[in-house]
Every structure is written in structure tokens, then in C-alpha cells.
């Protein structure tokens, strides 16, 4: 017996909504517009990727040292710290250069003090340690592998859909502002779905009910674990700058502030020199807000779905919302039932948040 197939499986009954998605996302869901990649696709309902380790070039002293100490303790808590140090690495602490002669552990090294003509000095606890270089001598032999295995991560795909049912009469009657009722309803439903995807991208939790049929994809709150509790304090430039500098020390490249409406207003009340409006193209109406952090400009993106007390500092290039292959949002014509025309807007998407250590959440900010 032949396997039955639904009418929406016919190519002629499926209309891709890529152009409508692009136009609507620009106005309705600016964060989703920034991270949605229709040219990429997941190939399975469990979408996997590999996070490559971010390697920063900074650490801090764990304890004060005098000008003669040759064994020093470091925090080792900065991104990639356990793999930063090898024998021969040159580090800089304030104005003094040191050369590592042996690595005792991920948090302790033995060094030659006052290296390269610098002057050995005393340094207090928590002083910044800069990893300068790992020079090699002529004719050197490889002494150890520096290959690092990535860390696998994954997310589920989630189905998003809306159903439209219109009678022949409702489509024939002229309605002010709507030349074509089916097109109008399709646009409305697509707008609802894009907002739902953006909400999931921020608030979503990764979950599967066990049957494998009902899946939720995890969003920023699932993957971003680096955070600072503001303890109900009003948003200050120091909150953002501290997060940005920590991310930079970890090897990340933050470029985006994702904010709630309340925290956007708080940003507007900060120093005028920190926030500006700039044209993203030659259109006068196409203005973007820029926050000037201590480490560079960040584009401000507002979302109605952000928790009122929160703000994210993100490297948006590492975040993607992608469809399951052949499941990008489309309008599917279903079988006609009497005088009813039935269609469905449907798509299946997931989210990648690569290198969670490249992103930062500031929570529990004042909301009044």
C-alpha cells in the first residue's frame, strides 16, 4: 500500500516567506534580525556544534610577591588559563618582565625575575599578569602538544506554527486596509511567530518531553552563565565596562548590548558621551544607538522580551538562530474544506550560542 502524503508536501502548495521575514524582522524583532541566518541550516532535531576554547592573554597574581620570589601563584581562572603557560613563556607584571622556567600547576609557575633587562620589583595581590609571548629558539624541538579539543554543545529544534482559516465570503468582502485577506492574515501570523522565536532566543529553556516530538530550544538564559548580580543598583557605566573588560581578558570580542525597555531608558540617562545615535546607512530613519565602552563601541539592541532587570553583553557573531533544513518559515496551503481555505504558517528553528564564555549577563538591576 502506498504511503499517504499531505497536500502541503507538494512544492506548489508551499510558499517560502524569506522576503517577508527579512522585512518584518527589521521592524518587529531587531535582535532576531541580527542573529537569524536563513542561509545556514541544522540537519537534525538535535543540533550540535563544537566550541573552540577562547584563549585570553591576561591573568592575575594570587598573592603578593617580593622582588626575589621565583615561584608565583596566579588565579588561573581566566579563560584558557590552564593552557596559557608553558616553559619559555614571557609574562609582564606591571613594568617587570619574567620568563617562565617551569609550570608547576595551572595556578603556579616558576620564573626568572627581571627578565630582558627589566627590574625585579614587589607586586601586590591581584596585580594583572600579561602573557606577552612564547618565543622559540632556533632549531627548537616540539616539546609538548598544544592541540586542544573543542567542547561539544547542542540544542533542540522547535516547531513554530499558526493556523489560518478563511471563508470564501470573508475573502470576497472588501476590508479597509486589506486588499487580500489571506496575505494580510499570513503577515500577521508571521509577525507573531517571529516575536515568539525572539522570545525563545532570550528566555528559552532546552527541553524534550521524552517522546522526541515536543521540543523547546534553549536561549541566552540557558547558555550564558557568566553574570553579575547588581543587587538592585541602578545601571552604571561601571557595570558594563567591568563586563566588557572581563570578556576581553577572556579573549572575546563583545559588540552588542541587548537591553530591556527599562534598561534602555537607564542607558539614555548615563553620560551623554557614552551613548550616541548614528546612521547605519544613508537613510535618515535608519538610526542605531551606540554605547561607547572603555574597550570600544557596542551596538544597543532593545527587546520587549528582555527581563526588565537585565542586560546582556554579547559577541553577536557567535550567536545564530537557524532553521532545520527545508523547514524555514513558509505558508503551506492545506486541503480545502467546503467553503473554507486553510493555510498554515510553519517553521522549525534552533539556536547556537557558541563559546558561552564570550557573553555576559548583568541581572537584578533597578527597575524604577
pLDDT digit string, tens, across residues 282-322: 433 344 588 988 778 899 999 999 999 999 999 999 999 99
pLDDT digit string, tens, across residues 71-127: 999 987 655 544 578 888 899 999 999 999 998 988 899 999 999 999 999 999 999
State the total domains in the chain: 2
Q: Are the beta carbons of 313 and 297 closer than 8 angstroms? A: no
Query: Domain check: are 29 and 80 in the same one?
Result: no
Beta bridge partners of 72: 109
Q: Which of 26-35, 58-67, 127-136, 281-290 has the highest mean pLDDT?
A: 58-67
Query: Domain check: are 250 and 356 in the same one?
Result: yes
Lowest pLDDT segment from 6-10, 190-194, 317-321: 6-10
pLDDT greater at residue 341 or residue 9:
341
Q: Is residue 246 scored above 70 in pLDDT? A: yes
Instruction: Please state, in angstroms and rounded to a whole number, the distance separating the CA atoms of residues 258 and 279.
Output: 19
What DSSP state is assigned to residue 318?
G
CATH number of the domain where residue 294 is located: 3.90.1690
Three-state SS for 186-223 is: HHHHHHHHHHHHHHHHHHCCCEECCCCCCEECCCHHHH
pLDDT greater at residue 169 or residue 254:
254
Query: Domain check: are 291 and 338 in the same one?
Result: yes
- What kind and span of H or E run contains 184? helix 181-203
Q: Is residue 43 scored above 70 in pLDDT? A: yes
Query: Domain check: are 223 and 115 in the same one?
Result: no
pLDDT attached to residue 225: 92
pLDDT greater at residue 310 or residue 178:
310
Q: Is residue 11 scored above 90 in pLDDT? A: no
Query: Domain check: are 40 and 72 in the same one?
Result: no
Question: Is 2 a member of any domain?
Answer: no
pLDDT attached to residue 274: 74
Query: Domain check: are 268 and 236 in the same one?
Result: yes
pLDDT attached to residue 23: 64
Three-state secondary-structure class, residue 285: coil
Query: Domain check: are 192 and 243 in the same one?
Result: yes
Domain that includes residue 71, residue range: 58-133
Please report which confidence band the pLDDT of residue 16 belongs to, taking 50, 70 and 90 as the band edges.
low
Amino acid at each position: 500500500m502506498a504511503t499517504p502524503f499531505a497536500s502541503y508536501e507538494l512544492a506548489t502548495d508551499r510558499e517560502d516567506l524569506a522576503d517577508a521575514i527579512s522585512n518584518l524582522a527589521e521592524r518587529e524583532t531587531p535582535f532576531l534580525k541580527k542573529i537569524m541566518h536563513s542561509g545556514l541550516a541544522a540537519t537534525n532535531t538535535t543540533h550540535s556544534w563544537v566550541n573552540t576554547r577562547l584563549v585570553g592573554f591576561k591573568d592575575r597574581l594570587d598573592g603578593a610577591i617580593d622582588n626575589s620570589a621565583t615561584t608565583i601563584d596566579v588565579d588561573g581562572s581566566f579563560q584558557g588559563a590552564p593552557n596559557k603557560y608553558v616553559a619559555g613563556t614571557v609574562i609582564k607584571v606591571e613594568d617587570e618582565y619574567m620568563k617562565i622556567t617551569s609550570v608547576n600547576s595551572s595556578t603556579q609557575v616558576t620564573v626568572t625575575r627581571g627578565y630582558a633587562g627589566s627590574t625585579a620589583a614587589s607586586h601586590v595581590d591581584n596585580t594583572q599578569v600579561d602573557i606577552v609571548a612564547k618565543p622559540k629558539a632556533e632549531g627548537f624541538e616540539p616539546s609538548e602538544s598544544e592541540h586542544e579539543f573543542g567542547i561539544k554543545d547542542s540544542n533542540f529544534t522547535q516547531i513554530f506554527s499558526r493556523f489560518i482559516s478563511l471563508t470564501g465570503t470573508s475573502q470576497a468582502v472588501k476590508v479597509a486596509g486589506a486588499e487580500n485577506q489571506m496575505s494580510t492574515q499570513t503577515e500577521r501570523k508571521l509577525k507573531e511567530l517571529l516575536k515568539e522565536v525572539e522570545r525563545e532566543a532570550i528566555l528559552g529553556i532546552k527541553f524534550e518531553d521524552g517522546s522526541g516530538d515536543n521540543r523547546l530550544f534553549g536561549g541566552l538564559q540557558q547558555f550564558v552563565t557568566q553574570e553579575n548580580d547588581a543587587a538592585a543598583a541602578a545601571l552604571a557605566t561601571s557595570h558594563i565596562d567591568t563586563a566588557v573588560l572581563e570578556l576581553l581578558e577572556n579573549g572575546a570580542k563583545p559588540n552588542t548590548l541587548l537591553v530591556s525597555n527599562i534598561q534602555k531608558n537607564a542607558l539614555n540617562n548615563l553620560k551623554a558621551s557614552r551613548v550616541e545615535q548614528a546612521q547605519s546607512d544613508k537613510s535618515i530613519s535608519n538610526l542605531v544607538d551606540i554605547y561607547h565602552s572603555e574597550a570600544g563601541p557596542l551596538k544597543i539592541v532593545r527587546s520587549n522580551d528582555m527581563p526588565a532587570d537585565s542586560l546582556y553583553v554579547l559577541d553577536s557573531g557567535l550567536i545564530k538562530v537557524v532553521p532545520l533544513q527545508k523547514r524555514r518559515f513558509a505558508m503551506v496551503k492545506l486541503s480545502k474544506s467546503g467553503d473554507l481555505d486553510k493555510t498554515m504558517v510553519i517553521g522549525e528553528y534552533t539556536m547556537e550560542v557558541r563559546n558561552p564564555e564570550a557573553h555576559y549577563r548583568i541581572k537584578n538591576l533597578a527597575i524604577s
